[in-house]
Amino acid sequence: MNDKLKVAKTNAEKNLKNTSSFVVKNYKMILAVVFGLFILYWIMFVLTPKMNMSVEEKAKIDSLNVLIMEMNKNQQILDDKIDGINEEIVEVDKDLDKIKDKKTVVKEIYHEKINSVSNFTEPELDGFFSDRYKQ
């Protein structure tokens, strides 16, 4: 058991010598890394401003968010109404087109009748006007 203890002790001494020789050989690199980490820490945590928001500011932001949500809901309602009105406009336009078509047909019929009146004889004219005004 003493042999194992001695072996462990010598291994520990060798490891300590290896570590100390590594530190002695690379002390400039180790110092540069430590200095770099310190600079990084200093930039990230010392120079970076901290965001401190008061309770009143948070409350204002929350109330504004609530107002924005209400406005979005109202906007959606208005958009739905606009869509409905646009559909009604399309229907009215279709009705207007139908009326224009009927007007054109009636106009052609009356144009034919007016042109045919010039060819009527006197008894035919009397019959035409009597039929027209009876309606």
Asked if 27 and 34 count as a contact pair (C-beta separation under 8 A), the reply is no
C-alpha to C-alpha distances, 94 to 90, 98, 101, 105, 107, nearest whole angstrom? 6, 6, 11, 17, 20
CA 64-56-53 angle, to 5 degrees, is 95
Q: How confident is the model at residue 52 (pLDDT cuts 50, 70, 90)?
A: confident
Q: Which residue has the higher pLDDT, 5 or 101?
A: 101
Domain positions in the chain are: 1-50, 54-135
Give the model confidence (pLDDT) of 23-50 as tens digits. Answer: 788 888 989 999 999 999 888 887 777 7
- Residue-wise pLDDT tens digits, 58-99: 899 999 999 999 999 999 999 999 999 999 999 999 999 999
